[in-house]
Amino acid sequence: MLVSQFTYLNEDPCHHDAIEKLNAETFGPGRHARAAARVREQGPHDKALSFVCLDGVELIGSVRMTSIAIGEVNAYLLGPLAVDRSFKRKGIGRELLKHAIHAAKATNTAGVLLVGDEAYYAPSGFSRAGNDVQLPGPVDRDRLLFLPFTEIKPMELTGKVRFLYSLATLSIPG
C-alpha cells in the first residue's frame, strides 16, 4: 500500500473541475441518472466532509458527503467515491473513505448511507440498509448500505431519502 506518498485534503472550490472530470471518467455519462445522484442534485454536498487525494498537484481521488434525512433520521450520503484508474489498488479509496467517515462521526448524525459494493465497504462497518429506505429512483437493494453511529440498526431504517439542509451546506455571503 502506497497511501503515505499522497496528500489528502478537504475539498476546495478549486478542485471542482478536476473532480467532475474524474467522476465522468470513472462512472460515465449515466451517473446523473442514478438514484443517489437524484438526491445529490437537490442541494450542495458538504465540503467540510468531502476530501480529495493529490499526487503532487494532480487530483487523483475524491469523495463527497451530502447531508440527508432518511425519514426522520439525519445522516450523510457518501459518494461519489472515485480514484483515477492509474492509481487503483494503492489504498487511496479506503483512505478517502476513512477521512469521510471520521469527519461524519464528529457531527451529530446517525450514520452514513451509500450505494456500493458490500464486499468493499463492509470492512469499514457498512451493512445492508432496510428494504423500507426509499430513494428517488430504482436502486439495487443489495447495494444500499448504512454505517450507523448511533443505536440505529441498518435493517430498521425506514423512510424517504431526501437532501437535508444543514449549517455546513449553507453558504452565507460575507
Q: Is the pLDDT of residue 168 over 60?
A: no
pLDDT digits (tens, 9 = 90+) for 114-156: 999 999 999 999 999 999 999 999 999 999 999 999 999 999 9
User: Which class would CATH give 3-163?
Assistant: alpha beta
pLDDT of residue 36: 87
Question: Please, which pLDDT band fits residue 20 given cuts at 50, 70 and 90?
Answer: very high
Residue 59 dihedral angles phi and psi, to the nearest 5° = -75, 120
Task: Give the β-pairing of 144-148 and 132-134.
Answer: unpaired
What digits encode the pLDDT tens for the residues 26-53?
887 766 667 888 899 999 999 999 999 9
Q: Residue 51 and residue 95: Cα distance in Å, rounded?
A: 10
Question: Which is it for the CA torsion 129, 134, 139, 141, positive or negative?
Answer: positive
Cβ contact 92:3 at 8 Å:
yes
Name the average pLDDT for the chain.
Answer: 91
Q: Which residue has the cell 467532475?
A: 20
pLDDT of residue 92 exceeding 60, the answer is yes
For 25, 27, 68, 82, 167, the CA distances from 85, given in Å and listed in that order, are 9, 11, 29, 9, 35
Tell me which DSSP letter residue 151 carries.
Answer: S
Q: Which pLDDT does position 7 carry in this prediction?
A: 96
| Three-point CA angle 57, 58, 61, nearest 5° | 125
